[in-house]
Amino acid sequence: MRLSVDHVTKYSYDQPVRGVVQSHRLTPSAFEGQTVLDWQIEVSDGTPGGQFRDGAGDRIQSWSVQGPVTEITVRVRGTVETVDLAGMLKGHRETVKPEVYLRETKATWADPGLVALAAAVEGAANPLDAAHRLSGAVADAITYSPGVTEAQTTAAEALAQGAGVCQDHAHALIAVARHCDIPARYVSGYLCADAEGAPHEAAHAWAELFVPGLGWIGFDPANRCCPDARYIRLGSGLDAQDAAPIRGIARGPGAETMLVTVSVAPGQSRSSGEGPSSGQSQSQTQQ
């Protein structure tokens, strides 16, 4: 499936800031499930930093913008050819050991509620079955409901509310998986809105669980499926903050507002899907 992406993030400051530095994880991963046909990242008035592939296989690049500046636009455009691998991350070059993804973070800490949810693995036929059960349990426990959670919400809080967005689903699945000693990580990427117009965001997130013998497998509890040809994978991390496509810092007192528009559409034509996105963590703090 050929998917085109147009992802624009506009940062505005009510007072000029002295400068901005960002670290991007905005290039699609290289694996058998996707091939980049063309891809461009533009940062208004930005100077690109050195780029490299980190141990998790993500392409990372930093950008700096010298101020004074009141507005910065980050625009990502490109086309990716995708194949449905039933969630498997085949042929992905990475050197981080799966055990590293057993580490707890604040957002993915398993509280008693999540520990109870993890009981879903009982009676699982094999590790893959266990992963499916956990993903299903998370989907049942947290209803998709935009606006009730925010970027800082933890897995435990989302479960307590019983509602959240893809970030919360991913965090909850990671928490229960790690509790069961299954390495799990947060994945950020894009999702092409399907024909029926199901309510999910174009900027998307899901989880990957490590299954011995098969490797990393994606699970998207928000959509009760494994990533297929509609998904574009950007990068991974221990949690949403660690996997954020954009991490940035502005120097200066100006208050920041951020507007994100993402469209992911089949073929070359770009269609709707615009609007502020709640699905992807694009943390930017100020100093």
Partner 1 sequence: MRRALFSPKGGCLTDLNKNPEQDRGVVQVTDYFNEMYQNGAVRPPYARLEDWMRTMPAEFRQMKQAEAEALFRRIGITFAVYGEGGDPDRLIPFDMFPRVFTGQEWAKLERGIKQRARALNAFLVDVYGRGEIVKAGRIPARLVYQNEAYEKAVVGFVPPKGVYSHIVGIDLVRTGPEDFFVLEDNCRTPSGVSYMLENREIMMRMFPDLFRENRIQPVDSYSERLRRTLASVAPAKCKGEPRIAILTPGHFNSAYYEHSFLADLMGVELVEGQDLFVEGEYVYMRTTEGPKRVDVIYRRIDDAFIDPLCFRPDSMLGVPGLMDVYRSGGVSICSAPGAGVADDKAVYTFVPEMVRFYLGEEPILNNVPTWQCNKADDLKYVLDKLPELVVKEVHGSGGYGMLVGPKASKAEIETFRAKIEADPDNYIAQPTLALSTTPTFVAEGIAPRHVDLRPYCLVGEQIDLVPGGLTRVALTEGSLVVNSSQGGGVKDTWVLAE
* Chain residues in the site for partner 1 (CB under 8 A): 19, 21-23, 47-56, 60-62, 64, 66, 95-97, 99-100, 102-103, 238, 241, 247-249, 283, 285, 287
- Rounded to the nearest whole angstrom, what is the least distance from the CB of residue 43 to partner 1 in the complex? 12
Which of residues 62 and 261 has its CB atom nearest to partner 1 in the complex?
62
Query: What's the CA gap between 221 and 281, in Å, rounded?
Result: 17
Collapsed DSSP state (helix, strand, coil) of residue 174: helix
- Rounded to the nearest whole angstrom, what is the least distance from the CB of residue 269 to partner 1 in the complex? 35
Which of residues 133 and 179 has its CB atom nearest to partner 1 in the complex?
179
- Rounded to the nearest whole angstrom, what is the least distance from the CB of residue 47 to partner 1 in the complex? 4
Collapsed DSSP state (helix, strand, coil) of residue 171: helix
Which of residues 166 and 240 has its CB atom nearest to partner 1 in the complex?
240
- Rounded to the nearest whole angstrom, what is the least distance from the CB of residue 150 to partner 1 in the complex? 15
Which of residues 12 and 23 has its CB atom nearest to partner 1 in the complex?
23
**If we measure between CA atoms, which residue out of 35, 32, 39 comes closest to residue 5?**
39
Where are the extended beta strands (E) located within 2-146?
A: 2-24, 34-43, 46-53, 59-82, 143-144
- Rounded to the nearest whole angstrom, what is the least distance from the CB of residue 21 to partner 1 in the complex? 4
Per the structure block, which two tokens stand in for 242? 């660690």
- Rounded to the nearest whole angstrom, what is the least distance from the CB of residue 143 to partner 1 in the complex? 29
Which of residues 45 and 84 has its CB atom nearest to partner 1 in the complex?
45
Q: Running DSSP on this structure, what letter comes out for residue 193?
A: P
Please count the other Cβ atoms lying within 10 Å of the Cβ belonging to residue 276.
Answer: 10
**If we measure between CA atoms, which residue out of 76, 27, 15, 73 comes closest to residue 258?**
73
Query: What's the CA gap between 151 and 165, in Å, rounded?
Result: 10
Which of residues 21 and 128 has its CB atom nearest to partner 1 in the complex?
21
- Dihedral angle sign, alpha carbons of residues 152, 7, 76, 81: positive
